[in-house]
Amino acid sequence: MPIYNIRGIDVDFPLQAYDCQIVYMEKVIRSLQEGKNALLESPTGTGKTLSLLCATLAWRKSFGEFSTNPSEEKGWGSSQPSSSQSVSSTPSDSQRSGLPVIIYTSRTHSQLKQVIRELKTSNYRPKMAILGSREQMCIHDDVRLLRGKAQNHACQYMCKKRKCRHHPPVSEFVKRHNPLGNEPFDIEDLVNIGRTKGPCPYYVSRELHKSADILFAPYNYLIDPGNRRSLTGIPWSKAVLIFDEAHNLESICADAASFDLPSTYIASCISEANQCIDLCGKKLVTEKSADKQFDPDNYAILKALLTKLEKKVGEVVIQSKEQGFTRPGSYIYEFLSDLNITFETANMLMDTIENAAQLLEEGNNAASGAETKPKGTVCRLETIRDVLNIIFRDGGKSHSLFYRFHVQESQSNYSESFKGTTSRTLSWWCFNPGLAMQEFEKLGVRSIILTSGTLSPLDSFALELNLDFPIRLENPHVIDPDQIWVGVVPTGPSGYPLNSSFRTRDSLEYKQELGNTIVNFARIVPDGLLVFFPSYYMMNQCIECWKSMSHACSTQASTIWERICKHKHPVIEPKQSALFSHAIEDFETKLRDQSTSGAIFLAVCRGKVSEGLDFADQAGRAVVITGMPFSMLTDPKVRLKREYLDQQAFKPKTNLKGLTGEEWYVQQAARAVNQAVGRVIRHRNDYGAIIFCDERFVQQGRQEQMSYWLRPHVKCYSKFGDVIFTMARFFREKKNSSLLKPKKETFSVHEQCSDKDRAPEITVPSSQSPTSLVSSAAQSCSGKPRLLIQASTSRTKIDNFTPLGSILPANRATLPEKFHKLPQQFKYFKRDLDSHCEEVVDLTGEEPVNSLFALKKPKVLETGNAHLEGENRRVLPFSLCGQKSEKKEVIVGNTSSSTCGGEVESRGSAFLAQVREKLSKAEYNEFVGFMKALKSKTLSITPVLESIAKLFSFPGRFSLLKMFKDFVPIKYHEKYEELLRIHGSQD
C-alpha cells in the first residue's frame, strides 16, 4: 500500500489516493503541525473520513508509538499496568502528558460506527475507546428496558446499593485485559464482551478512555460542560478536537446553551418537591436520621421558590400572543432576583435538587418493594438544575449579552383546557454558538478541525461559530462530468411555475404541477428516487392532494398518487424517530421488488433521511428538491435570531463584517438543501441526477450557495421537454455502459480496491501543490465506498427505462377515451394503489380538544344497493387498522347500531383523557404522532404497537397498557398479549 510523505509526515494510506484526498490530508496535517483551526469541506464519496483518520494518526505517530505497543503503556490517564507487566514499565505523568490526544466526535453513534469501520481498513492501530449512552450499552436485565433520565437514575441507584453484578468487576477486568482497545471496536463489540465476560460495557468504556490515543464520542461529550468534565485526565493543551459531519454544529451548540421551561414542567417540579417533603418526614420517623439530605425544610424552601416562579411566569404581561414577551438576556437575573435566586443561592438550590433526585429514586423503589429490580424515576427537578447551570455559568453575567429572554403562551394540554388555564413557556435562547467554541479556547486545545460534505458557504459558517479558521478547503468531487446530471426545473409539464414559496405553496395548481412532474421522474429514473420537501406540512399537503379525485386536472381513471405508485413503490418519512428504522427497511424491501422500476422515498429537508444516510448506487439514482426549506418567519426564535444578528452586524466601531439576519436565514436553507443533495453520488463509480424543482434556483445567488463541487454541473432548463429528453438520455447511456461491466450479485458494504504490491513513497513538499504529484491511475479506486442502504443487483432488469418516444407528460391521459367516463359512484370508492399499507381511522386529527373523537365528515359510500350518508354513517373512533380486504369503517344505521357506536366513542374519549393525564405533553404528542403515522400509511401496525407499548410501560401506566388492548383489532390481540407480558412486569 502506498506511503505519502506530506509535509514531512509519512502517511500510510490503504489505497491509491485521489488528488483531492492528498490535498485534504495536506490541510489536516498543516492544521495539526501549526496548531491552527481548520474548516474542511469534501463531498461524500471522496474518502474524507479515511483521509482524516490516516493523516491525523500519521501525525500522532510522529510523536512516538501508540499505546498499543506491548513494551510500554503510553496512556495519559490513571489506568494501572496489567499483572503481566512491571510497574516500572508505565511512563511517568510528565511523559504521558507530552503525547497528543485525538478526540474524534460525530453527531450520532451510527456515524461513529462508520468511522470505526474506516479505521479498520487502515494500517493504523492506536489505542482507542468509544463513549456512548447507557441506552446503548446497558446489559442489566431490568435497567436496559428503561430510557433517558429514568435509566440513568436506576443505574446510579443500583451501583450505589451494589445491586448490579456487572459494575464491581469493571476495574479488575480492564486491568487484566490490557489489549482491549488495541484493535478497532464499536459499541456492539463492547456490549458483546459485557454479555459474555460480565463487566458493564458503559463503565468499561469510561475506564478505557483514560489511556486511549484516540477517543470516539458523540458531540455532546465535548459541547455539554457536564459531560466534558467527566473526561478525566485529558491534557487539553495537547488535545486535537475533530468534529465530523459538522454542518449542524452551530445549531447544536446554540441549543445546548439554551433552555425552554414550560409552566407544566414547573408544576411537576413543585409536585416532586412536595414528595420529597413527605419522604423526609417518613424517614425522620422511621430512621431518625439527622442527615441534612433528609431535612424537609430544604425541600419546603425549594417548593416555595418554584411556586413563586410559576406565579411570576404567569403574571408576565403578554400584549401580543404572536410576539410574546421579550427582553435582553440580562433580564433573567432581574427576573430571578425577585425570587431570591442569585449566584449565592443557586449553588445551594442545585445541591438540594441533587439530593432530591436520590431521595425520589430511593423512595420510589422502597414504595414498590423492589429489592433488586429498579423502578427508574424521571426527576424533572433536574431540569431546574440544568437551567440554573446555564444561567449562572462561570459565575458571571457577560454571556447574557448573547441571549434573549422570552415568555410565550404555548398550546394548552387537556387538564389546562379543562381548568381554563393557559400554559406558558419561559425561554432563554443563546444566539451565539461560538460560546461553546470559546470554552475550548479557554482550555487551550491545540487544534479544532470541522469537516463535512456540506459546509458551504464557509465564511458564514466561521462567522456563526465566532472562531478563527485560518485553514480552509472546498474540495471538488472525484467523479467525472458524465456521471452526474444536474438541472433546475422552473416549470412543470403544463408550463405552470414550480415555486414552493408561502404565496403559492397551498395553491391546487402548484401541487398538481409538482405531482405531475414527479410522475415523469418516477418513469424515467431507475431504481431509487428521493424527493425532499421543505417541511412535513408541505409533504403531507401534497400527498393528500395527489391522492384526491376531486380536482379537475386529475383523470377519472387514476390519481397522481396512483400514477406514481404505478412506477415506484412509495415510502414516506415518519416524523417519529421510533418508526424511522422500519421506514428504511420498508424502502430496502420495495427497492428489490421487481414488479416496478424501484421505490420512491418522500422525505423532508433537515429530516433523518437527509442526514447521514448513504443512498449509494441503485438505492438513490436521483434526488428531487421541491423547494427552499426556509424556517417559519413567525417563529419567535427565528425572528429574534434575525434581529440579534442584524444588531451585531451593524454595530459601530467593528472592523469585521458580521452576518446579517437575512444572510443567516437564507444560508440555513441553502445548507439544508446541500445536505439533502449529498444523499446521492456516494463513491467514485456512482452516478445519478440532482433535480431542483423550484424556479428560485435559477437565480445566480441561489446557485452560488450550492456546494462547490456541484456548481459547474448546474444547468437551467426553460422547457420541461428538454428536461425529460436529456435526463432519459443520461440514464440510457449509463445503463448501456453498465451492461458492459461485470455484474455483481450484491453490493458489498466494504467494497475497496486491493493493492498487493506496496507502491513507492510519494513525497509532497509543503511548498508544492500536492495535486500535481498524483498519478492518474488513482482514479480507479474508491476512497469511501460506503453503503448503508443496500440494493440487490441480481434483479432481472437492472434499470427500467421507458423508450424515449413513448414518454408522455404526466398530465396527459394514456387510457382510451372510453375509460375516461366512469360511473359517478365509483369516485367515492377509489382507494390508493399502495395496497400493502394498512389503513387507519384517525383518532388524533387537528380537531378542538373536546371534540377530538368527533365523527368523520359525512361521505357517500357504495354499500351494495344502498347509499348511507350524513347521520346514517358513523365511524368507530378507535378502529385502528386492518387489511384491505376488511372494512376500515364500521357503518351503522340510525336504529340498533347507533348506540354501540356512541358507546365506543365515549369509551375512546375517556381513554384519551387518561392518556393526557398520565403522559407528559411531549409523550402525548409522541402518542398522537404514532396514531397519525398509521393514518398516513407510513408503517404497518406492528412496529407502532411496539412503540406505544413502550410508551405505556413506564411506572404507573400499566392501566393504559391494558385498556389500549380494547382498541386493537382482534387479529393483533395475540401480538399485543405478548407485549403486555414483556412490558407489564415493569409496573
Measured between alpha carbons, how far apart are the two ends of the chain, in Å? 58
- Average pLDDT for residues 24-46, to the nearest whole number? 93
Of 201, 132, 211, 133, give the one whose Cα is nearest residue 179: 211
Of 282, 50, 96, give the one whose Cα is nearest residue 785: 50
- When mean pLDDT is compared across 209-218, 550-559, 883-892, 913-922, the lowest value belongs to 883-892
pLDDT at 326: 95
Q: How far apart, in whole angstroms, are the C-alpha atoms of residue 648 and residue 660?
A: 8
Say how many CA atoms lie within 13 Å of 474 toward its Cβ.
14
Handedness of CA 911, 917, 922, 923 (dihedral sign): negative
pLDDT at 905: 60
pLDDT at 411: 64
- When mean pLDDT is compared across 19-28, 417-426, 958-967, the lowest value belongs to 417-426
pLDDT band at 902 (very low <50, low <70, confident <90, very high): low
Label each residue of 807-827 as H, E or C: CCCCCCCCCCHHHCCCCHHHH
pLDDT at 875: 33
> DSSP states of 750-763 as a string?
B-----SSPPPPEE
- The answer to whether 40 and 458 have CB atoms below 8 angstroms apart is no
Sequence-separated contacts (24+) of 141-147 with Cβ below 8 Å: 142/372, 142/373, 142/374, 142/986, 143/374, 143/376, 145/953, 145/986, 146/374, 146/376, 147/950
pLDDT digits (tens, 9 = 90+) for 635-657: 999 999 999 999 988 776 555 56
- Average pLDDT for residues 181-206, to the nearest whole number? 88
pLDDT at 215: 93
449 has pLDDT over 60? yes
Q: Please give the domain boundaries of the chain with CATH numbers for all domains.
A: 255-370+377-431 (no CATH), 484-549+558-735 (3.40.50.300), 919-984 (1.20.1160)
Phi, psi (deg, nearest 5) at residue 132: -155, -175
- Average pLDDT for residues 271-293, to the nearest whole number? 78
Mean pLDDT computed over every residue of the chain: 76
881 has pLDDT over 70? no
Q: How far apart, in whole angstroms, are the C-alpha atoms of residue 459 and residue 119?
A: 31
pLDDT at 84: 34
- The answer to whether 54 and 5 have CB atoms below 8 angstroms apart is no
Higher pLDDT, 152 or 512: 512
Higher pLDDT, 370 or 222: 222
pLDDT digits (tens, 9 = 90+) for 682-716: 888 899 999 999 999 999 889 988 888 899 999 99
Q: How far apart, in whole angstroms, are the C-alpha atoms of residue 695 and residue 504?
A: 12
DSSP E strand stretches across 197-324: 214-218, 239-243, 259-262
- Average pLDDT for residues 873-901, to the nearest whole number? 37
Higher pLDDT, 677 or 836: 677
pLDDT at 291: 66
pLDDT at 88: 32
93 has pLDDT over 50? no
pLDDT digits (tens, 9 = 90+) for 374-429: 555 567 888 899 999 999 987 778 899 999 999 998 765 555 555 556 789 999 99
| 203 residue type, one letter | Y
Higher pLDDT, 869 or 720: 720
- Average pLDDT for residues 881-889, to the nearest whole number? 37
pLDDT at 719: 92
Q: How far apart, in whole angstroms, are the C-alpha atoms of residue 722 and residue 110?
A: 40
845 has pLDDT over 50? no
Provide the percentage of residues in the chain whose pLDDT is more than 70.
Answer: 74
982 has pLDDT over 80? no
Q: How far apart, in whole angstroms, are the C-alpha atoms of residue 440 and residue 450?
A: 13
Q: Taking the complete model, does pTM exceed 0.75, yes or no?
A: no
pLDDT band at 860 (very low <50, low <70, confident <90, very high): very low
Handedness of CA 245, 248, 252, 253 (dihedral sign): positive
Residues with Cβ within 8 Å of 442's Cβ and at least 6 positions away in sequence, in order, are none
Residues with Cβ within 8 Å of 37's Cβ and at least 6 positions away in sequence, in order, are 31, 447, 448, 449, 450, 467, 468, 469, 470, 471
Handedness of CA 905, 911, 917, 923 (dihedral sign): negative
User: How many Cβ atoms from other residues are within 10 Å of residue 519's Cβ?
Assistant: 23
Q: Considering just the CA atoms, what is the radius of gyration of the chain in Å?
A: 30
937 has pLDDT over 80? no
Q: How far apart, in whole angstroms, are the C-alpha atoms of residue 765 and residue 767?
A: 5
820 has pLDDT over 70? no
Higher pLDDT, 149 or 204: 204
Q: How far apart, in whole angstroms, are the C-alpha atoms of residue 152 and residue 143?
A: 9
As given in the structure block, the three cell numbers for residue 49 are: 473520513
Question: Between the CA of residue 588 and those of 577, 620, 699, 866, 937, what are the distances in Å?
Answer: 18, 11, 36, 43, 17
Q: How far apart, in whole angstroms, are the C-alpha atoms of residue 366 and residue 714?
A: 66
Q: How far apart, in whole angstroms, are the C-alpha atoms of residue 308 and residue 339?
A: 7
Handedness of CA 44, 50, 53, 58 (dihedral sign): negative
| 404 residue type, one letter | R
292 has pLDDT over 50? yes
913 has pLDDT over 60? yes
- Average pLDDT for residues 962-976, to the nearest whole number? 82
Higher pLDDT, 300 or 854: 300
pLDDT at 366: 64
- When mean pLDDT is compared across 115-124, 382-391, 806-815, the lowest value belongs to 806-815
